[in-house]
Amino acid sequence: IQLTQSPSFLSASVGDRVTITCRASQGISSYLAWYQQKPGKAPKLLIYAASTLQSGVPSRFSGSGSGTEFTLTISSLQPEDFATYYCQQLNSYPFTFGPGTKVDIK
Amino acid sequence: QLQLQESGPGLVKPSETLSLTCTVSGGSISSSSYYWGWIRQPPGKGLEWIGSIYYSGSTYYNPSLKSRVTISVDTSKNQFSLKLSSVTAADTAVYYCARMYGDYVNDAFDIWGQGTMVTVSS
């Protein structure tokens, strides 16, 4: 199952609402997770089951979607949110990741 | 809290076998509903799932690497390991071990090791 993400790069300001889209090449129900990765660090789980917020993750992060189209929304971008975001499908093996969306400071 | 730590050589020669171990601390590798996986990231590139294992020994591999990959578990040491044979420069990457919660509803890799850089070079 192939995942695409759009945009691949996003320039935004603190306080902006940001939306990242992940599309799957075939239906994956809600078996989708979102991760945040900062340079030199391991990915951090943000969202699982498409819309469930991982414990400890700020509520400004939210996820939605099912089937083939999913979104990750950051309601008000904070300085610590500048990072690369990856979606991952866990519907079937082999698990695959999207190519990533880098969120940079405008 | 549960922590994962990768260990192994940082430099491997072409055609040889890459071997890494992930040590789990603060919890048991034998916990039900948890799988243990390896994910890698070439420099400047995205993430690639290599494979996963359950404490019982059941394994799941990425077909793109399956012919070269072996993942094993040692419950007595609370460790799981990765072996990747016949490596080339294309296998140069940061290798992460991670825990996956797997109840067929809320699956996700929720805890990751810090990662270890492995370079393939003579």
Question: What's the gap in Å between the CA of A16 and the closest CA on chain B?
Answer: 25
Q: Which residues of B touch A35 (CB under 8 A)?
A: 47, 109
Check pLDDT > 90 for residue A106. Answer: no
Q: Is B43 on the interface with A (CB under 8 A)?
A: no
* Residues in A 19-48 with any Cβ partner in B closer than 8 A: 31, 33, 35, 41-45, 48
pLDDT per position as a tens digit, B35-67: 999 999 999 999 999 999 999 999 999 999 999
Q: A42 near B38, Cβ under 8 Å?
A: no
Whether A55 shows a pLDDT value over 90: the answer reads yes
Mutate to test the interface with A, among B49, B58, B64, B99 (most CBs of A within 10 A): B49
Residue among B57, B69, B3 nearest B30 (CA): B57
Q: Is the pLDDT of residue B102 over 90?
A: no
> What is the band of B107 on the pLDDT scale with cuts at 50, 70, 90?
very high
User: Is a pLDDT exceeding 90 seen at residue B106?
Assistant: no
CA distance A64 to B76: 41
